[in-house]
Amino acid sequence: MNPNAAPVRKQNKRREKEVVILQAAEKIFAEEGFGGATMQLIADAAQLPKANVHYYFSTKEELYRQVVSNIFDVWLQAAGSFEESDGPAEGIGAYIDAKMEISRTRPAGSKVWASEVMHGAPIIQDYLETTLVEWTNSRIQAIEAWIAAGLMDPISPRHLLYMIWATTQHYADFGHQIQTLNHNSPLSEDEWNRAKDSVKTIILKGIGVAT
Amino acid sequence: MNPNAAPVRKQNKRREKEVVILQAAEKIFAEEGFGGATMQLIADAAQLPKANVHYYFSTKEELYRQVVSNIFDVWLQAAGSFEESDGPAEGIGAYIDAKMEISRTRPAGSKVWASEVMHGAPIIQDYLETTLVEWTNSRIQAIEAWIAAGLMDPISPRHLLYMIWATTQHYADFGHQIQTLNHNSPLSEDEWNRAKDSVKTIILKGIGVAT
DNA sequence: ATGCACCCTGACCATTCGGTCAAGAATTTT
DNA sequence: AAAATTCTTGACCGAATGGTCAGGGTGCAT
């Protein structure tokens, strides 16, 4: 009996190994691109034989699909604080903070996402057309409400969102360039805070929100 | 005699063919990434046999290097209007316009550049460390002078530049995502102007420049 | 203890890729 | 005109890649 429930220990072990492979794959896909990444490189990064990786993820595309899907979830959840906030100062400020934090902690994921979209989103086009469109329209409505309430300037909510996405993700996707321009050293804790403050200050003032 | 001067007709023909290959390569590298692009795809796009492409560019890396180098030049020249302007309203406004125009007319080039930097700039790292560092420091000085003259807020010039780069290039690099969010159709002339205006309005107001 | 389902991996395969080459065509120089 | 240089291209090659598979190992239920 109980034919459906697999042993708990085994299930955990399987999941743990999948996570190890997914993390290695995210790193390699970010560094090499989809075409440049090889299953051997991913297997080496995960410290497993290549055939073992293929046991958990049958094809390179299947593995890539799951990496991209994971990042998309993180991306969407970054705006949890958006709607439930009182006004633009708190809502947009927190959203910028959240997205900057993702750039700092998950730069590889951000690069994989950027690469996927840059190449025409061959894998996650359906998500863009459904989830992302809904998500965006919902945020645009929130911003329009703030504008109608006189809490901020009547700017284009859509282009404001693009600016926030672009600027925050730039710190991950172009992290190498930023590091080169920072005496070849990664941003320190203070420098990250300076970046966050700069982005928030300019954008919030730019849309007429007092801080 | 005249052993050094090659025939003009032949030289022109060679240059023309190189340009055809470079344009095809820029498109394919943008669509497929360096690893995903194949010499056969590039040759097909240029409507030439693969061996003929190898006659003009001995290796894939050499071809890629020239594509990236071309884009870097465009990138730098976009700021010609920066220093010779009277103040931030004109200088930064014109710079944003120029960069938005590049995103509109050379999206493939922008993507190749983004891809190169995202993967650690393996080919043009030396340019980043020399030309780009000098270029950036020079612009930072100009902005600091404007701040000292009280023409704009005392924001971080460095992060302002990052924001301009990120936002303007976003319209090329993430053009597919923007198109998906625009009812699956490319931005019209009016929509491009709306985008330009939005970016300039928010950034210029954000740094305390009256327009 | 024994059967069973899941896990592991070295060896292997077909395909594709970047790059070469030789032989001929076209164009310029003498 | 004929020699010399440059251009063109089909055929080919070694290396690398994604994916397969057989055979053995491991841990759980009965």
**What are the residue boundaries of the structural domains of chain A, listed by start?**
8-58, 71-206
Encode pLDDT of A88-105 as tens digits: 999 999 999 999 999 999
B35 in Cβ contact with B27 (< 8 Å): no
**What 8-state DSSP symbol labels residue B130?**
I
Q: Over 90: is that where the pLDDT of B164 sits?
A: yes
Task: Domain B69-206: give its CATH architecture.
Answer: Orthogonal Bundle (1.10)
CB < 8 Å to A143, chain B: none
pLDDT in tens, A35-79: 999 999 999 999 999 999 999 999 999 999 999 999 999 988 887
- Closest residue by Cα to residue B207 from B145, B148, B155: B155
Question: Which protein residue's Cα is closest to nucleotide C6 at C1'?
Answer: A10
Nearest nucleotide, C1' to the C-alpha of A11? C6
Q: What is the pLDDT of residues B50-103, one digit of tens each?
A: 999 999 999 999 999 999 999 999 998 887 777 778 899 999 999 999 999 999
Q: Per CATH, which fold does A8-58 belong to?
A: Arc Repressor Mutant, subunit A (1.10.10)
- pLDDT for B9 beyond 80: no
Contact flag, residue A14 CB and nucleic strand C, below 7 A? yes
Instruction: Look at the domain A71-206 and name its fold.
Output: Tetracycline Repressor; domain 2 (1.10.357)
Asked if A176 lies within 8 A of B31 by C-beta distance, the reply is: no
How many C-beta neighbours within 10 Å does residue B182 have? 14
CA distance A45 to A67: 15
Query: How close A124 comes to chain B (CA, Å)?
Result: 11
Q: How confident is the model at residue A6 (pLDDT cuts 50, 70, 90)?
A: very low
Q: Distance in angstroms, CA of B40 to C1' of D10?
A: 14
State whether the Cα torsion B84-B85-B87-B91 is positive or negative.
Answer: negative
